[in-house]
Structure formats: C-alpha cells, structure tokens
Amino acid sequence: MKIKSIFLLIFSVISLSGVTFAQEGWSVSTGLQYTGGNYYYNSYSKLLSFYGGVRYQSEYFSVNVTAPIIFSNNNTLSQSGGMMLPIGGNSSNSNNMMRGNSPDNNTGGMMGSNGSNSNPYMFGSSSSMNSSVGLGDIFMTGNYQIYSDYESSFTSSVNYQIKFPTASGMTNFGTGKFDYGVSATLRKGFDSYLAIADLGYLNIGDPSGITYNNPFTYGVGFGKYFNDGNSSLLLYYQGYTEIVSGYAAPQQLSLGLNHQLNSKLTLTLIGGVGLTKFAPGLLASTGITWRIGE
C-alpha cells in the first residue's frame, strides 16, 4: 500500500508570508520539510522533502508553483502536507498486515481470520518498507482578491490548487492522478492581530481500485504581527470531512513564524502536530523566500 496526501498545511502557513509581506513581483523560495508518524502502521515512518518554488504576486492575485524532491524510509508513503490517504493494498505482504481491532472501532481487524485482504485500505508492517528518493507531485496554488477594505482591515479571496501527477510510479510518491481544489478565505485585522477563516472543496483523483469521498476543507487561524511588522506568528487549525469511509478525517494544528530578514529575504519556520492518524504526528519545516527585482 502507498499513501498520498495534499500540500495544504505548508501552503496555508506559507501564505501568511503573502498576507504579511505581500509585495508585487516575482519571488523564488526553497525549503526543507520533515514529517513523521505511525499513521496506521506498526512502525514509525519518516519523510524528508526538499522543495523549490516560484511565485508571482500582483495587487489582486498570486500564482505559486512548487516542486518537491522527496526521501522516505517507507516507499508505501507519499507526502503532500496535511493529510495521508491509503491508495491500495499489497496482497503479497498480507502476512505482514496489521491484525486485531480496526483503527476506529473494536469490531475486528482489517483482515478476516483467514488472512485474506477484505479491505482495500491495507497497512503494512516495517517488513514491507523500503527507502526511496525522487521527484514528488508538482503543485500550483494561487488566489484572487475579491474584496478589500483598508479602513476595516478586511479582505476576502478565492483560492485554487492543482496537483500535477509528476511523481514517478517507481517511487510510489503519488496516485498518478490530478487533484484540484477551490476555497474562499476571509481575513480580518485587529490592530496587530489577524483572524483567518477558510472553507473549500477538494477533488481527489482516484487511483485504480479506490474511490475517495471528495472532502470539504475548513480552517481557522489567529495571527500576530510584531517587531514593527517585520515578523508574524500564525496558529492554524485545518480539517477535512471524511475521505476514507470508516477512518477519522485528517486534522492538524500548526504554528508558523515568518520573519522578514531584509527587503528581499523572508524566513519561514513551521511546526505542526496531527490530531488524527491520517495526519503526520510531527511536522517541521523551514524555508527562505527571495523577492526578485526592486
């Protein structure tokens, strides 16, 4: 079994940079992200992503393209940020699959007593894990500001994201399908504080043999500007409706820090914890954004 997910957490927190230090023109970014967790496995899985991106920001809209190089100690996992989803079993490893109580109830195991695969969402033990490295899926995200009131510090925008299935099938880092999503975001400033609310919908491409429940997404955040506006903190909660029937929907809590080093460079630090087993138990990320031109 391999797992895919959607780059939502990292984009949600990085977007604070655009909110706080939005300047028109081009910028490039690079960063490193670590995620780890047991998920529904017997062993701890670790994933390291090195990503690079390019962004264009105008007065009313932005476009951002990001590509990751991924290293994982478990080639049955694929990472894209805030949630992890199963995309199929591997019957050859059936003797290594988890047995006993199912993850969200006490009515039996994922497999029948004869060891056959009665559930397409099967999770392997450490014996089925192998390290791999390669290109992950490329993401395009962006937003368009539909309303802004400077006096009341209120803005609203619509956002989009598209996942391009560029990950190699040899590494199991993706589903091989497109994903796309839309959302609406409201931001309200209160002196040096910021409140954010987001509601969206995500269409997840179904790999062979699996049908996902396309989820609604929701998030709320509270931010604080300090250091004369050169730094900001954002505490952000993100959740989804049920995606895989019978399993708790992904939820994650993160804290992001942005600090403008100078007129060109912005540093981003992120820490996060998963609140359900389809989210990484631990997330840590750091990145640098460099604004090009004057």
Domains of the chain, start order:
3-91+132-291 (2.40.128.130)
pLDDT value, residue 270: 95
pLDDT value, residue 22: 57
**Sign for the pseudo-dihedral over CA of 55, 193, 154, 255:** positive
Total Cβ atoms within 10 A of residue 102: 17
In angstroms, what CA-CA distances link 165 with 48, 159, 199, 254?
19, 20, 25, 26
pLDDT value, residue 290: 96
pLDDT value, residue 99: 30
Backbone angles phi, psi at 96, to 5 degrees: -105, 0
CA–CA dist 165, 139 (Å, integer)? 9
Non-local (6+) Cβ contacts of 242 within 8 A are 213, 215, 248, 249
pLDDT value, residue 6: 33
CA–CA dist 212, 77 (Å, integer)? 17
Split the chain (294 residues) into runs of 10 and give each run's mean pLDDT: 37 43 84 84 81 94 94 66 53 33 37 39 48 88 94 94 85 80 95 95 83 91 92 94 85 94 94 86 93 83
pLDDT value, residue 243: 85
